[in-house]
A and B are shown apart, each in its own frame.
Chain A
């Protein structure tokens, strides 16, 4: 019996490790279906320790992204890198926690783009929700941040 003791411990740790992994994946899946509110996102952006990228799926034109966007947001019109401005193409990272911004919180657009990111959540109400909450906005062309990945700093 003593001979197998170590084996039993290792097996128990293995089983618990797999369970932990499965629960972690379930958390990711559940969070993906829970949109983040504009105020919650604003609070998250205020925390410099949180690595977060904001990806804006709206059109990159004078009526949408250039007119107004969340500070630090990266334009990715229609979730297509080819449509993104050249400066933004290499700024989108699939492994960073991502907030996806649409015009009004369009679930279909979010679902179509979600698979590109390991962990993604939608901004509730989209850019309209952000504007209605009177939170800070930027205007103009996309300008990549000088340091760190992904942007998202206020």
Chain B
């Protein structure tokens, strides 16, 4: 595997990782907001 291919794979994995973490954080804050709204 060439160096450029390795860089490409690692970049893709990092990008996907960042997307997953940010989407998860957004979902968690949405869920928390909904819980707060539902609380009496």
Contacts and interface: CB of A to CB of B under 8 A. Distances in A.
A20 B16 contact: yes
Contacts of B31: 30
Which 10 pairs from chain A and chain B are nearest by CB? Answer: A16-B16, A9-B9, A23-B23, A30-B30, A19-B20, A26-B27, A12-B13, A20-B20, A23-B24, A5-B1
Interface residues of A, number: 18
Contacts, number: 44
Nearest to B38: A33
Main secondary structure of the interface of B (DSSP, over half): helix
Secondary structure at chain A's binding surface: helix, strand, loop or mixed? helix
Interface size class, chain B: 10 to 19
Interface string A17-59: 1011001101100110110000000000000000000000000
Given A16-B17, A16-B20, A23-B23, 14 more contacts: A9-B9, A12-B13, A13-B9, A13-B13, A13-B16, A17-B16, A20-B16, A20-B20, A24-B23, A27-B26, A30-B27, A30-B30, A33-B34, A34-B34
